[in-house]
Structure 1
Amino acid sequence: MKPIKRNTKQFAGLGLRGALMGAADAIPGVSGGTIAFMTGIYEELIYSLKQCGPEALSVLFKKGVLAAWQHINGAFLACVFAGILVSVISVSHLVVFLLDTYPSLLWSFFFGLILAAVWSVVRHIDKWRPSIIVAFLLGAITAFYITTITPTHVEATSIMVFVSGMIAICAMILPGISGSFILLLMGMYLPILTAVKSFQIATLALFAGGCVVGLLSFSRVLHWMFEKHKTMTLALLGGFMLGSLNKVWPWKLVVESIVNRHGKVIPLVENNVLPTTYEAASGLPAQLLPAITLMLVGAAMVYLLEKLGTTPD
């Protein structure tokens, strides 16, 4: 695909899309790739990331900085990643507060958003052949299984920070699989979020290095999938989203937890339960009506995001 020519207003729209992706990536269970897909920039994002390889270096040395910048669709990437960066830095504080104070309501919003996003993806599939159905089911089963894995608790060494960046960034650009949740599984979510909040430059640089390596390799795989097997890829991604709903079910009971070095209780294993069971077991209100309202708000957000993706900024 060829890079799209844009005006200033349209580049600002890309920054907004990036900000929405960053906000989603800060939540364990929600993928920024889902937002990118719904807002209509996913394929261009994958293409642009794929361009940031050895070929870009060759263009840089032979034709100069401007040619290399155009080769990687630099203006597009700069706007999107600037939005992501600003959002992650600013939203991380709010995310911690909401997860601690209103977890059921926050999960309700994202449950509705992701459920509607499944429809947003699969509606692009014209014909459901057996192979397409298998891809959809495989994606759903894989994502569901990932959400059932018990998170580990490891020390945030330099190697772990770098490797977690490589793995998590792949999930962050894959709709339905949350990079934040992958970090949670690896025991690296809180260390990375803390590094973002307190601007630990060395940790963030290692993590960013891992992200760069992961992006440059995985984006090529995704670009090839969209080029050669687009319909099957859409089915697989739709399945990923459906399976990930297990993680964002609003009513959970903690069955296993740990206490970190700051004395804070960190849930490791949670069971999804019905609202009535949640009330009986926890003694807390299920807030069913507000939860359902926020699910509908999340679903409406998908509609608005799709409008953002189909209208000229």
Structure 2
Amino acid sequence: MWEWRNIYRGLLMGASDVVPGVSGGTIAVVLGIYDRLIEAINGFFSKEWKKHLKFLLPLGIGIVTSIALLASVIDWLFEHYPGPTQFFFLGLIIGVLPYLTHKADMKNKFQGKHYVLLLIGAAVVASMAIFQTSETTAMEEITMSGYLLLFFSGWIASSAMILPGISGSFILLIIGVYTTVTSGISDFRIDIIAVVGFGILLGLISMSKIVKFFLDHYTSGTFAVIIGLVIGSVFVIFPGVPESTGLLTASIITFLGGLLAAWLLGRVEYKG
């Protein structure tokens, strides 16, 4: 049976993938489909590929549609209301932590080494805040070396994208091609979309195999790292305390909205 419900899940994942600092993997965790996503990407290259296609195709339709339609909207929100927008996603990220700790069964399964892994994961992602860049201009005339850079950027970004807590968009920002990619999507530049898309595809395939191996053989340790990655992303996306009372009020409201969205999504998904 085709899982057309995944279209709306893909819309949410695609919207988050456009935001530097927010991971589509984190949203997959919120939606309760992270384990199945990893399994489906790996299973697509097996004899049961048709079953996994029924899961992945609707999800892919949602992700591509969302990125195509919402890239400009989210860019506009970040340009005009950066603080409140970041606080919304901050609430969404924090809202996923209770589910993650419950799924990992931290109280019963975590030992000292798991908390060390958690801290390492948090430190790795939090340290990325140091590398934030003010890259704003897109490449105009792209040479062969530019296309190679875009390909490897897509590959590295998608490898990060599938891990909760690590933002593929933020990786593009660090590399210095975020504006080129988002402008290419907005302007429907087939060359940019094709090159980056191929890199993303290869990255998803390779990283999903690695994640599946560790989830199967080192479940608690993998969840410890994932929780750490999500915690670390809080430090990356936190925009600082708003300077004016109006911005502070708006940021509190959007932060609570993010928490509420995570809670509502959890109720919808885990009951349905």
TM-score (norm: length of structure 1) = 0.79
CA distance in 2, matches of 1:227, 1:309: 23
Where does residue 13 of structure 2 map in the other structure?
21
| CA-CA distance at 1:24 after TM superposition | 0.5
**Does structure 2 conserve the Cα–Cα contact (< 8 Å) formed by 1:152 and 1:186?**
no
> Using a 3 Å threshold, how does the CA distance of structure 1 residues 228 and 152 change in structure 2: closer, same or farther?
farther
Return the letter of the residue paired with 1:295: F
**Does structure 2 conserve the Cα–Cα contact (< 8 Å) formed by 1:27 and 1:180?**
yes
Where does residue 190 of structure 1 map in the other structure?
179
Let me know the Cα RMSD of the aligned residues: 1.8
- 1:80-113: CA deviations, max 9, x gaps? 1110000010110101110000001101111111
| Matching of residue 172 in structure 1 with residue 151 in structure 2 | no
Which one of the candidate residues 92, 102, 120 is aligned to 1:123?
A: 102
Where does residue 267 of structure 1 map in the other structure?
none
**Equivalent pairs: percent with the same residue?**
31
Where does residue 69 of structure 1 map in the other structure?
50
CA distance in 1, matches of 2:90, 2:75: 18
Please identify the structure whose Cα radius of gyration is greater.
1
List gaps (5 residues or longer) in structure 2. none
| Matching of residue 298 in structure 1 with residue 258 in structure 2 | yes
| Matching of residue 143 in structure 1 with residue 135 in structure 2 | no
Alignment of 1:224-263 (within 5 A): 224-251=213-240
| CA-CA distance at 1:51 after TM superposition | 2.5
Where does residue 259 of structure 1 map in the other structure?
none
Where does residue 287 of structure 1 map in the other structure?
247
| CA-CA distance at 1:231 after TM superposition | 1.7
Q: How many residues are aligned here?
A: 262
| Matching of residue 34 in structure 1 with residue 26 in structure 2 | yes
- 1:288-311: CA deviations, max 9, x gaps? 122111111101111112123212
SS of equivalent to 1:18: helix
Where does residue 78 of structure 2 map in the other structure?
99
> Using a 3 Å threshold, how does the CA distance of structure 1 residues 287 and 46 change in structure 2: closer, same or farther?
same
Question: Comparing both chains, which one has the higher relative contact order based on Cα–Cα distances under 8 Å and sequence gaps of 6 or more?
Answer: 2
**Does structure 2 conserve the Cα–Cα contact (< 8 Å) formed by 1:105 and 1:250?**
no
**Does structure 2 conserve the Cα–Cα contact (< 8 Å) formed by 1:21 and 1:84?**
yes
- 1:23-62: CA deviations, max 9, x gaps? 1101001111111111111111101111244xx4xx5xxx
CA distance in 2, matches of 1:307, 1:84: 22
Runs of 4+ in 1 over 3 A off after TM superposition: 150-156
List gaps (5 residues or longer) in structure 1. 1-5, 60-66, 252-273, 280-284
- 1:172-212: CA deviations, max 9, x gaps? 11111111101100101110000110110011111111111
Where does residue 256 of structure 1 map in the other structure?
none
TM-score (norm: length of structure 2) = 0.91
CA distance in 1, matches of 2:129, 2:239: 14
- 1:113-158: CA deviations, max 9, x gaps? 1112222212223223101111111111111012222438696610
